[in-house]
Amino acid sequence: MNLNELLSQNLIFTGLNSQEKDDLVKSAITREYQKGAWISHYGDVWPYLFVVERGIVTPIKESSERSLIVVELDEGEVFWGLSFFLEDAPMPVALVAKETCRISMWSHDHIKPLLLKNGQMSWELTRLMVRRMQYASEILDEFAFQPVTGRLARLLLEHFGDAVGDYVSRDMTLDEMAAHIGTTREMVCRQLYKFADEGAIQINRTEFMISDQARLEKIAGKIVG
Amino acid sequence: METPPGELLAQTPVFCKLNQRERADIGNLAVWKRYAEGEFLAHQGDVWPYVLVPADGQINVHKLSSEGRSLGALRLGAGQVFWSPSVFDGGPLPAALEARQTCEVYLWHRDPLLPRVRANPEAMWDLCELLIQRIRQASDMVEDLAFQPVAHRLARLLMKQYQETADVHVSRSLTLDEMATMIGTTPVMVCKILSRFAGEGFIKVSRTEFEIIEHNKLEQMAGL
């Protein structure tokens, strides 16, 4: 799908007329990134709004020892640097290409006049912000109220839903699992063995199976309440 | 009422971008309410399509777990505007709104308000900035909870209170429950860590105040 088609399908841009959309496509700064490349670093002042044209971009929070994958942005999704809205505000996350990807971005100076001219565009942008805030709120719930055990059980159910009663390939490393639930790889490893001892899962070096879905759901259910 | 809604709106983000006549018009739509301490304005999970501006008092915005624990997300004082997420998507509130003390508030239902705000591009840009600030606050909280141990978060809370008064004698204006709510832990854990800080000589704890003894060590612990 080309950029014009992507914009036409995104609610933020549907209020623009064809001329405005064409201008936006022409003025886009397009960049390609290899898997693992950094698009922006934590703390950068990065005043852009972008659309993922191809591939997946992951916003990642980092501490000196650990990282946390907040969300994954797929084709057509819109994201921004804080300083696009708030002058000189640093990035609260790093942006990394999860796989080879292509993004189209625009500076604050380029998009703001369009937002001021087009009320529908700014309304849809506020609605997207509220959805992102609701998502951040769910993450807050998990970290404030739910133990690592429950967060890991939920991740396994969400990510390995096809593995109920069948072995599937382990396409997620311990580090990646740890980054998704905000803990260490050692803790993930320990909990996985605990789940295996309890009969909820079976795991070996390359494959994974949910052997007792109800038990795993119960562990995850405790955290849902 | 001490402050008429029009005057309050002139100092409030989003509304300050409207002209005086538009603000007066919106001021006329305001519903004024008074809440007693501890009373809920809205519960977590309610669909509550209102914009709120406290005229007086304080409101706690906090999240609740099924086991009854809570996490303070925000504290709203006079003039600090709150746009409920339900205004934008009709969805439920992800947190409860509770009067921390007796308060007086102005409320606007989304239906008459939104067309007036959406008609003003500068007000809409201001709304984007306001929401981005809220996202940043939520993001900072996620970062704290994901990466920082409870002791670090408690040290930061104590330092913040100290910085507000610039006095080593910090009045105990927050209960253990409130402190736990503000840093996402339990009152028992707060109590345990305060005792640890006291044992290590960072602070002295009395019934009415904390005295900060080792300012530098507490600051270091808080990562400031």
Question: Which candidate from B69, B129, B142 shows the least CB-CB separation from A85?
Answer: B129
Q: In the sheet where A101-107 sits, what is the strand order?
A: A29-33, A101-107, A48-54, A78-80
Q: Select the residue of B67, B85, B122 nearest A133 (Cβ to Cβ).
A: B85
Of B52, B44, B59, nearest to B103 (Cα)? B59
Nearest to A139 by CA among B73, B110, B55: B73
Confidence of residue A225 (pLDDT cuts 50, 70, 90): very low
The reported pLDDT for the residue numbered A164 is 81
Structure tokens at B117: 């705000």
pLDDT at A167 > cutoff 90: no
Which whole number is the average pLDDT over A113-122?
Answer: 92
Matching residue, tokens 């980054």: A179
| Residue among B112, B11, B25, B117 at smallest CA distance from B54 | B11
pLDDT confidence of residue B224: 66
**Which residue segments constitute the domains of chain B, with CATH numbers given?**
5-146 (2.60.120.10), 149-222 (1.10.10.10)
Q: What is the DSSP string of A118-184?
A: -HHHHHHHHHHHHHHHHHHHHHHHHHHH--HHHHHHHHHHHHTGGGBTS-EE--S-HHHHHHHHTS-
pLDDT digits (tens, 9 = 90+) for A120-130: 999 999 999 99
| Residue B157 burial (CB count, 10 A) | 17
- Tokens at residue A164, please? 């109920």
Q: Which residues of A touch B136 (CB under 8 A)?
A: 82, 86, 89, 92
Which residues from chain B sit within 8 angstroms of residue A130, using beta carbons?
A: 85, 88-89, 131
Structure tokens at A143: 């970290």
**Sheet (strand A168-169) strand order:** A168-169, A207-210, A201-203
CA–CA dist A195, A106 (Å, integer): 46
Per-residue tokens: B201: 């000589």
Q: What is the mean pLDDT of residues B141-150?
A: 84
> Which residues of chain A have a CB within 8 Å of the CB of B128?
85, 115, 122, 125-126, 129
**Structural element, H or E, at residue B166:** none
Question: pLDDT tier at A175 (50, 70, 90 boundaries)?
Answer: confident
A195/B149 Cα distance (integer angstroms):
25
Residue A149 has pLDDT above 60, yes or no: yes
Q: Which of B5, B222, B128 is nearest to A89 (CA)?
A: B128
Over residues B160-182, the mean pLDDT reads: 81
A213: alpha, beta or left, given left = phi > 0 and alpha = psi -120 to 50? alpha
Contacts with A122 from chain B: Cβ below 8 Å: 118, 121, 124-125, 127-128
CA atoms within 13 A on the CB side of A148: 19
Token digits of residue A139: 């993450």
A224 pLDDT more than 70: no
How many other C-beta atoms can be found within 10 angstroms of the C-beta atom of residue A181? 23
Q: Domains in chain A, start-ordered, CATH in brackets?
A: 3-144 (2.60.120.10), 146-224 (1.10.10.10)
pLDDT, tens digit, 9 for 90 and up, residues A36-67:
999 999 999 999 999 999 999 999 988 777 78
Judge: B121–A68 Cβ closer than 8 Å, yes or no: no
Q: What is the pLDDT of residue B2?
A: 57
For chain A, the helix, strand and coil percentages under 3-state DSSP, each to the nearest 5: 45, 20, 30
Residue A223: what pLDDT?
41
CB contact B121 to A (< 8 Å): yes
At residue A184, the pLDDT reads 85
- Mean pLDDT of all residues in chain A? 89
Answering whether pTM is above 0.95, one says no
pLDDT digits (tens, 9 = 90+) for B38-76: 999 999 999 999 999 999 999 999 988 877 778 888 889
